[in-house]
Amino acid sequence: MRADDLVPLGRTGLRVSRLGLGLASLGGLFEPVPEQQAADTIDTAWELGVRLFDTAPVYGYGRSETRTGAALASRPRDAYVLCTKVGRLIEPGGPDTQPIWADPPAGVGPRLDYSYAGVLRSVEESLGRLGLDRVDVLHIHDPDEDFGAAVGEAYRALADLRAEGVIGAVSLGVNHAPVAARFLRETDAPGPDCVLLAGRYNLLDQSGLDELLPLCAERGVAVMAAGVYQSGLLADPRPGAPHGYRSIPSELAARIGTLRKICADFDVPPLAAAVQFPLAHPAVTTVVVGARSPEEVAGTVSLFNRPVPGDFWTSLKGSGLLPEGAPTPA
């Protein structure tokens, strides 16, 4: 298995690379990213065979979508799969601002809106920022923020767009596996086609294994595993590093220490194990990893393609870092 292998995205008719590029960082997640560096990052991903790109209106308050569209403008439209999200509108005075975005555009912010009309407006505005005439996968972003409206009006809007052929797939973008499982159970067939699951199926958190992943496998729902570095914690666990944790709980720090020791024993980079692990589950089609520079993209592709010995995974299970029932790479 290689990062540039193309595989079907569940039942959607779309084909994606095993490694996808998450574009939050290019919107200024934690740190500003210069415009040319953002373009070079996407160009490098393309050169290395990445054909799945995931953005959202809230990423830098429109900045990520704008940069994504510009960088992909010269690429054959049928040669890649582009995902964005609905659930937040970017508008003057939008009140739901987030401190994680460095130097966002002045005067605008996100406002939660999962209404039918709000979703249609969100799609139209995203297409404008992207400079495209269609989006392949639309995620309902953080449906737990207003679950009733998300599972009702937002889903109905996207299902209608799917039926009209305007979008290729309806998806969820979630940080909590039980939310996605509930959403799948409460929507009528055919329901969502995909789930972008962030931070809940990786080397430090396998809560997606409890209910969601078996349900997705049963229903043919393709899972995109994101947050495999646990918000950057596996990349750099030092206090104060840009990993999204103000403080690291002692139990989590101990798990990281055990993981790093086993990795050292087997000469396996922790990030190589992190980016390869989720794909062993039959429900997981692709892993989506963020990057803020060409070097980071190239490094991730190299880690993805690096061989990892089978005994390494056995050792992780023996240490209690992975449950016995978790599938591991062959």
Residues with a known catalytic role: 54, 59, 85
- Alpha-helical runs (H) found in 150-278: 155-163, 177-186, 212-219, 250-266, 270-276
| Contact residues for 41 (Cβ-Cβ < 8 A; gap 6+) | 21, 26, 33, 291, 292, 293, 294, 296, 297
Q: How far apart are CA 88 and CA 105, in angstroms?
A: 16
Q: Which residue has the tokens 């209690």?
A: 320
Question: Counting Cβ atoms within 10 Å, is residue 36 exposed (0-12), middle (13-18) or buried (19+)?
Answer: exposed
Q: Are 69 and 27 in contact (CB under 8 A)?
A: no
Q: How far apart are CA 174 and CA 257, in angstroms?
A: 27
| Contact residues for 194 (Cβ-Cβ < 8 A; gap 6+) | 9, 10, 12, 137, 139, 169, 170, 171, 172, 221, 222, 223, 224
